[in-house]
Amino acid sequence: MDSPILLRSGTEHVYNLELINKPALEKLRSLKIPNIVHVVFCEKKFKFKHYVSLFSVWKVLRPFRIIMHIQGSMISDRHGYSIWFKRANDLIPNIEPICHNDTGPEETSCIRLGTGSLFLYGGILATLETVFLVPILEHSYEENINVGYTDSAPSKVSFIAAPSGSNILKKLQQPNFQTKKLDLSNLYQCDTIDKNFSVKTLTPVCLHLSFELSPKDIFNLDNEFGSIIRNLVYGTKELLRPKKLKNNLIPKIVHYVWLGGNEITFPMYLSFLSTVKIIMPHRIYIHCDIQPRGIFWDKIMSVNGVVFVEYGPIHFVFGKRITSIQDEINVVRTDILYRYGGIYINWNAYWLKPIDNLLTSGYEFIVAFYHLDRDPFPDSINLGIILATPGASFLKHLEQTYRYYRGVGVYKLYEEVPELVQIEPRLQVCNLITIECLPYEIRSQTTCPVLNNEIWCKLIFN
């Protein structure tokens, strides 16, 4: 199952009888072009830029129908990242998908599919690389046809608005036909957006997305393009940054979770010692379904401020059976942090420096990206160390993802609500098994210097 769909402010159609624009209703009578949109998709993977384009059709053009012509079949993402088409169908109520046989990779076949449909039914034909910024039909009361083209490729059509049976559509089906040659007064130039993510025209009618785009590209993109896409997708032009609040103090308490009753090992004991001697928390809570065993467990329980908490076992979440220990740990961890806040740490993570400045930073939820690439995900979030206030909003959303839990939902959730998460690169992960330190900055196979024995001696003997 897929991650949940979080409706953002500004994405819903709101109807209020007192606010009906009566002049606009009168204009509907004089429309020469049906208020329906045809979009043609001829690629194999439905990506974020296609989602943005489709969302602009719905929010800006506000058509009665969106007929989506799909050539061939889409390739599903087995990793669960590229679920944009499903998300579009969940949010946009009037998409009508129509599948067509794959007639080849040529772009002209895709264009013919779209213009042929437009010739029969009329309306607006749009490619799924076009982002609409103004409602085109409002300018179409006197003219019979509107055509948009890209500034970088005059032969490439971005959109066509025409009544059914228009003879001009036959010309557009010709290979390499340049739209600038059309004898029309309503020719619109769409700004081509490249990897610099900048808008060239002062008041563009539309944009053409020629470059790959992901949500993280626009979270803090402080220019006109960033504000346009944020407003379309998230319902706000503001930068999507977490806010600092003076009252957001993370409790200096630590939570470990250990399920299954297995023996506490020496590396786990070292993690515990790093917490005691470097973090110096007020309390350390160890949440277990069965009391652990072994000499290192006895050593842990002999330390002042350590509390054993019996939690679980947990077999179901939202009526679905939990099938693995890791899934159970995820559920327990989220619940504990939402209730009490504090610091969560995995048993295979080790502290090197105090974090008091992070606990008082004013952020309510702090994590780090994982150090390894997780293609096709742009990044992945490491939940091995979490700092959170009680009732942190992200944790509430995270709990809801367990209705659809697949193990990869955390980053998808981060893309939905990035303003609730502070990414802290200094939350490093040290792996005792390989004796390697894996900081956020290192994205290759290169490892940073091996931890020397002095660190471990201080933990064990000081």
**pLDDT, tens digit (0-9, with 9 covering 90-100), for 80-91:** 677 888 889 989
Confidence of residue 17 (pLDDT cuts 50, 70, 90): very low
Same domain, 155 and 258: no
- pLDDT interval class at 30 (50, 70, 90): low
Q: Which of 234, 269, 300 is the last residue of a domain?
A: 234
The mean of the pLDDT values for the chain is: 79
Please give the structure tokens belonging to residue 389: 């206030």
Residue 227, pLDDT above cutoff 80: yes
pLDDT of residue 144: 63
Residue 15 or residue 357, greater confidence: 357
The whole domain housing 197 covers 17-234
Q: What is the pLDDT of residues 75-126, one digit of tens each?
A: 776 666 778 888 899 899 999 998 887 555 454 456 667 777 888 888 888 8
Judge whether 191 lies within some domain.
yes
Neighbours of 65 (CB within 10 A): 14
Question: What pLDDT is stored for residue 449 in this prediction?
Answer: 40
Same domain, yes or no: 214 and 296: no
In angstroms, what is the C-alpha Rg of the chain?
28
pLDDT band, very low/low/confident/very high, at 19 (cuts 50, 70, 90): very low
pLDDT of residue 183: 56
For 384-419, the pLDDT digits (tens) are 999 999 999 999 999 988 887 554 578 888 999 999
Same domain flag for 194 and 325: no
Looking at 234, 264, 286, the residue that finishes a domain is 234
The rounded distance, in Å, linking the Cα atoms of 192 and 225 is: 11
- Kindly state whether residue 6 falls inside one of the protein's structural domains: no
Residue 239 included in any domain: no
- Dist. CA 111–CA 140, nearest whole Å: 22
**What is the pLDDT at residue 422?**
95
Phi and psi angles of residue 395, each rounded to the nearest 5 degrees, phi first? -65, -35
> Taking residues 178-186, what's their average pLDDT?
59
Residues 443 and 310 in one domain: yes
> HSE (CB half, 13 Å, CA atoms) of 393?
14
123 phi-psi bin (left φ>0, alpha ψ -120 to 50, beta other): left
Same domain assignment for residues 294 and 358: yes
Are residues 313 and 198 part of one domain?
no
User: Do 413 and 294 sit in the same domain of this protein?
Assistant: yes
Domain tally, the chain: 2
More confident residue, 23 or 275: 275
How many CA atoms lie less than 13 Å away from 454 in the CB half-sphere? 1
Residue 461: pLDDT band with limits 50, 70, 90? low
DSSP state of 276: I
The answer to the question of residue 264 being in a domain is yes
Q: Domain boundary residue among 234, 265, 281?
A: 234
Tens digits of residue pLDDT in 296-353: 999 999 999 999 999 878 888 888 888 888 888 999 999 999 999 999 999 988 898 9
DSSP 395: H
- Check: CB of residue 133 under 8 Å from CB of residue 56: yes
Give the model's confidence band at 373: pLDDT under 50 very low, under 70 low, under 90 confident, else very high.
low
What are the b/e assignments for 280-312, b being 16+ CB within 10 Å? ebeebbbbbbeebeeebbeebeeeeebeeeebb
Query: Residues 429, 432, 433, CA angle at the centre, nearest 5°?
Result: 120
Do 275 and 334 fall into the same domain? Answer: yes
- Contact status, residue 193 vs residue 209, Cβ threshold 8 Å: yes
Residue 410 lies in a domain: yes
Sign, Cα dihedral of 448, 452, 457, 458? negative
Q: Which residues of 344-382 are buried (b: 16+ CB within 10 A; e: fewer)?
A: bbbbbbbbeeebeebbebebbbbbbbbbeeeeebbebbb
In 154-265, which ranges are continuous DSSP H helix? 168-172, 224-234
- pLDDT above 90 covers a percentage of the chain that reads 35
Residue 243 maps to a domain: no
The reply to whether 219 and 273 lie within a common domain is: no
Task: Report yes or no on 242 lying in a domain.
Answer: no
Q: Residue 354 above 90 pLDDT? A: yes
Judge if 228 and 304 occupy the same domain. no
Residue 192: pLDDT over 90: no
Residues 198 and 307 occupy one common structural domain: no
Q: Longest Cα pair distance anywhere in the chain, in angstroms? A: 87
Q: Supply the pTM of this predicted model.
A: 0.81
10 falls within a domain? no
Residues 22 and 128 in one domain: yes
| CATH code where residue 275 lies | 3.90.550
